[in-house]
Amino acid sequence: MLSISLIKKFYESFISDQLVFLISVDEDRISGFVLGGDSYTITEIKKKFVRESFFRLFTYILFSPKIYPQILSRLKISKKQEPQKEQVPTTSFRLLSIGVDSEYKRSGIGSALIKGFEERAKRMGVRSYGLSVYKTNEKAISFYKKNDLKIEKETKNSLYFYKTLT
Ligand SMILES: CC(C)(COP(=O)(O)OP(=O)(O)OC[C@H]1O[C@@H](n2cnc3c(N)ncnc32)[C@H](O)[C@@H]1OP(=O)(O)O)[C@@H](O)C(=O)NCCC(=O)NCCS
């Protein structure tokens, strides 16, 4: 498993005015979060993180043979579709990550975070957003459908959702 400090560093790198990063709080405890933004900015931040944490990531990957197939398929995808600012699709605004602490799940926090994310996105002039989820993540798929996201396309392992903001 990735170390907590590396996961913390990963998420800290996304604290930016150009992105939407919301947390829900119960007294002094974080109960959930949602993070997203335009795909160009997200890709640039990810690249910077990989450059800065290369050795730690490499060590983690080296000792985690289970994730080799996932890494290989990602490498194939990124070779085919090099991100270019001029060629961003209509759903270039992405919801990158959402999570709710297990003690707070299924009490509406995830849906409230999605609503907050959409409100912020609309204020930034965004008209639609998209996201991808592993097909095996049935809970998240049900969650996105419940929050009115529609299926845009599917690949072997993932479903892509989008939502038009009104
Ligand atoms: C997906 C997630 C963010 C939902 O957060 P949440 O606060 O539990 O969601 P809400 O309470 O607002 O919505 C609940 C809805 O989500 C779906 N859902 C959530 N947990 C579920 C479960 N255990 N089984 C089936 N459906 C589930 C259902 O549609 C549910 O509606 P219902 O209660 O009317 O059946 C949360 O389960 C989570 O953190 N999962 C792990 C991280 C993750 O998979 N993130 C998405 C990666 S793309």
**1-54 pLDDT, tens digit each:** 678 898 999 999 999 999 999 999 999 999 999 999 999 999 999 999 999 999
pTM: predicted TM-score of the whole model, two decimal places:
0.86
Residue 145 has pLDDT above 50, yes or no: yes
Q: What is the pLDDT of residues 104-139, one digit of tens each?
A: 999 999 999 999 999 999 999 999 999 999 999 999
Please give the residue range of the domain that contains residue 57. 4-164
Give me the number of domains the chain comprises. Answer: 1
Distances 142 to 17, 96, 149 between C-alpha atoms, Å: 30, 17, 10
Query: How many angstroms does the Cα of residue 132 sit away from the middle of ligand 1?
Result: 15
Contact between 162 and 130 under an 8 Å Cβ cutoff? The reply is yes
In this structure, what CATH number is given to the domain that contains residue 44? Answer: 3.40.630.30
Q: 146 C-alpha to center of ligand 1: Å?
A: 9
| Closest of 104, 98, 81, 80 to residue 161, by C-alpha | 98
Stretch 52-68: mean pLDDT: 87
Q: Binning pLDDT at 50, 70 and 90, where does residue 79 land?
A: low
How far does the centroid of ligand 1 lie from the alpha carbon of residue 57, in Å?
A: 29
Q: How many CB atoms lie within 10 A of CB 165?
A: 13
